[in-house]
Structures are given as C-alpha cells and as structure tokens.
Chains A and B, each alone.
Chain A
Amino acid sequence: MTTSALRGRVETSAAFDPTGVEAIRAALADFVRAQTGAPVDIGPLRRFTVGFSWVTFGFRARWTERGRQAERDLILRAGPPTGIFGPYRAYPEFITLRALETSAVPVPRVYWYSDDTSILGAPFFVCDLVQGEAPIPWTHDGGPAFDDERRVRLGTQFVEALAALHDFTWQKTPVAAIDGTRDVRRTAVEQVDAWMANLARWSEARVPMLELAAAWLRERAPVAARISITHGDYRIGNFLEVDGRITAILDWELVRLGDPVEDLGWVCLQAWRGRSPYMCHFFEREELRDRYAALTGHEVTLADMAYWEAFGTFKLAVMHYGATDCFARRGFNDLRMAGMGAQIPRMLLQVEAAMERAS
C-alpha cells in the first residue's frame, strides 16, 4: 500500500490470529505481490516475543520492485484489535518512519503498510529487520543497567536521536497529517483529555486518584515553546543497540505532534530507572536537560520537565488500565497484561509522588 492509499479506511475485519502464521504469510505474500506487481517469495514467519501490544514477526523476503531484485530480512508488525491501544492504525507510524529515513534519527526502513483489516485482521506494516539488542529498564537487582562507559556512550546517542527527532522539520512532510496538537497552549490539556477519555474507555470503575491528577495537570498545563514530532514512548527498552551503537529507535505507535518536552518528561519516569539515579539509566535530570539544550538550542526548565514527568506517570498509569482491560474484557490472554493490572497501586502512588515533586 502506498503512503497515501487507504488512509483512515476501515474494511470488514478478518479475525487476526497471531498463531496462524501460514495464513498470515500467504495473505502478506498476496498483498506484497499486489503492491509490487511482480512475484514475491515470503519465507517462514517467526514470532518475536518483544513488545506489549503489536505482534512482531521476522521473515526473509525476495521481491522485485521497479525492475530490481531485492532480498532482505524484514519485520512484519501487526496491531491486534485486542491489544492495549487497539484499535490501531499503522499509517501514523509508517509515514513518520518514512519521513525520518533521511534524518539523523536511526529508524528502520519501511516498505509497505495497510490499515485495511480485511487483509490480516489487523493493521500492519513491513520494515527492515535491524540488528541489535534492546536493553530493558528492569534489572534483576534493581541496580544500574550499564557500566559508566556504556551509559555515557549510549546515553549520548539516545539524547542526540531525541534532539534530531524534535528538530525535524515536519511541516512540509506527510507527517503534518498525523494526529496531534498544533496550538502551543493546548497541547498539554488535550493530552490530559485524551488519556482521560482512554481511561473512561478502559475502566468501568472511576479512578478518583487519576481524576485528581487530571485536574492538577489541566490547571498547571505549560505553554509549549514549539510543536515537534513526539515519539510518545521514548525510553530504554525501545531502541536497539550493537556494541554501544544505537541502531534503531522502535515502537512509534504513540507518535503524534505535540510539545517535545513531553518526551523528555517520559524519559524521567521512575518506571524506567528502578533505583538508578539516572533517567532511563543514562543521565541525571540536569545533565539530560543540558545535553538536550546544547543539541537543540532550546532551553528547557526542570519545572516543565517535572510537569511532563508527572503527566507521563499519569499516562503510564492509564496504560495500566488499558492492559487490564485488554486482559479482563477483550480476551487478550497475555499474562503480562494481568500483571500490569496488579501493579496499579504502585503506579498511582508514583503519580502522587510525581505531582508532589512538580509542585
């Protein structure tokens, strides 16, 4: 599917069965053949266990495009209707990744996508398989994820990629069409409203602690200095690295236009650092701020970072209700989702603590 086709189009949904790999493989082959107008060979699909929402398969493919033979290891990402943030759309992630291909943000090259759920039963896109491991925020003893040399080396690239993303000129690219807020006075409030709407969708029970947090966040909403592409889940765990080099920033499903400080606040969440004093196991808040400012030329206050950290903690708490809901009511049997439900009290206390820190 081209970048412009099928945008916003929803067809009759086929049932998405992530265990039916042969059916997925056959449907994908038909789809790619239709896109390229030439024979295609899709190798066996192997499912990766990464990620909490989209289902990821790796495969080898051979195809012809514009008369040239190509053979590559590829990734198929499909957003199941029962997933945390379902129903999904592949379009925003696909066009953002395509737009960023020529930027300094390391992203996998993307090939095809569709939001037509009659094909696989779920929106999907295909991109390059990028080599690397994804360091995770959780360590067995709660201690540091990296030694000092690796921490600074990876952390430097981590902030550079974020700065490059926020400095990317999106206005005259297809990314201008994705969801988001362009009014610098409304970006925080609209995010709070959007996540409260998600909470209402995902929880039959009211959650007074989050209603209080929403009132607090609306009242203190900062005015954005600029509007950028925001990743929405920029953190340790969502990039790949090989030998101290970040090879790809992943998991763009929450990408939108908004206040770039939102991503900086998200980096600072307690959930991504355990007992480490370093945000995402990389830098203390002040160093993160200073490095970001030096790269972008945009001064960011610790107060604004603290606000967005509180917002991010609130957002993560709402996500826990989404995980609970997709297990409890949408028939998604991944026990990690139920496990997130068990951690809601911890999350709500972190929301309270983040608000106190930002007050």
Chain B
Amino acid sequence: MNIPLERLIDGIIATMRSDVIPHVRDSYARGQAVGVIDLLNNIAPRVEWAQAPLAQLVAAKRALVAEIAALVPEAGAVLADPVDGMETADDLLAAKRRLDAAIGDAIAVIWPRREEAAFGRLAVHVSAHLHDEMAAEMKITRKPLFAEIASGGGGNG
C-alpha cells in the first residue's frame, strides 16, 4: 500500500461519517458503525505499516543497486545513505523511494545498452527484482471486491 496509514484511517473514518452512517436506518447497525470509528480512532496512534517486509525489500534493493553500480557507477551514490537508524516504517519507505529513484535512473542507462552482454544480464536482474517485489506484494494482496462494490454488496467477502 502506498497510501500513508494515517491518511487511510482518516479517509475510512470520513467515509463512515459522511457516506455510510447517515444512510444506515437500523439504530443498532448505526451504533456499530460508530463503534468502527471509535476503534479506528484508537488504533490509529498505535499502528504503522509492517516493518519486516519493508526492511527485506530495502535490503534487496540495496543489493541490486550495488550490482548496478559495478556498471553504472553513479547509481551507487544512494548506497552512502546510512542503513542504521531506520526506526520506523516511514524511514524504510523513504529509503525505498531513494533506491527506486536510483533504479529508475539506472534503467534509462541499462535498457538502451542491453544488447551488450553485461548490460543484458543486468537488465534481466533488474526485471527479476521488480517481478519478485510485486510477487511478494501479491502474497498479501487480497482479490478486489469490485463486483460487490459495483453491485452495492451482497457477498461475504
């Protein structure tokens, strides 16, 4: 998820307040909906995005950038960022953003030269990294409920 968790929870609460609760006719159901807001208000200051997968991802990206830097030295500048002291998920997300920028810049150099053997191998490794990153994300991404959303519910999800 690339939405800040705090904003996500605020948005859920706002939607419950303005778009859901005013249209819930049953008083018990309305109370339960307010209960959702109450819980979200209390969960918000206590949670952040899971750090372990982010830390793994940052490590994988640093390894890739180190490999890239052997052929594209300017990509290696981002490796000077300190790896210690990343104490929050936001720190890790910021590190991931800087590494992705370096990888993006490197793609612009590697892609046109991929017919050269060394650059070709690197292009394959970059593609494999990007694939693995998304495949790992998919393991924790649930099937979208678009059919239910579009039809106004009716399933158990």
Contact = CB atoms under 8 A, between A and B. Distances in A.
Interface in A304-359: 324, 327-328, 333-336, 338-339, 341-346, 348-349, 352
A334 B15 contact: yes
B8 A338 contact: yes
Given A140-B155, A209-B130, A339-B149, A333 B101 contact: no
Interface residues of B, number: 42
Given A206-B101, A208-B100, A140 B108 contact: no
Contact of A343 (B4, B144, B155): B144
B7 to A, nearest CB: 5
Given A208-B126, A324-B2, A335 B103 contact: no
B155 to A, nearest CB: 6
A211 B104 contact: yes
Interface stretch (B28-36, B44-52, B79-87, B131-139): B131-139
Contact of B7 (A19, A328, A334, A348): A328
Contacts of B112: 215
A131 interface: no
Contact of A209 (B7, B134, B155): B134
Contact of A333 (B4, B15, B142): B15
A339 B11 CA distance: 12
Given A138-B150, A205-B97, A211-B108, A345 B19 contact: no
**Residue of A208, A335, A339, A341 with most partner-chain B CB within 10 A:** A208
Interface of B: 1-4, 7-8, 11-12, 14-15, 18-19, 96-97, 100-101, 103-104, 107-108, 111-112, 126-127, 130-131, 134-135, 137-138, 141-142, 144-152, 155
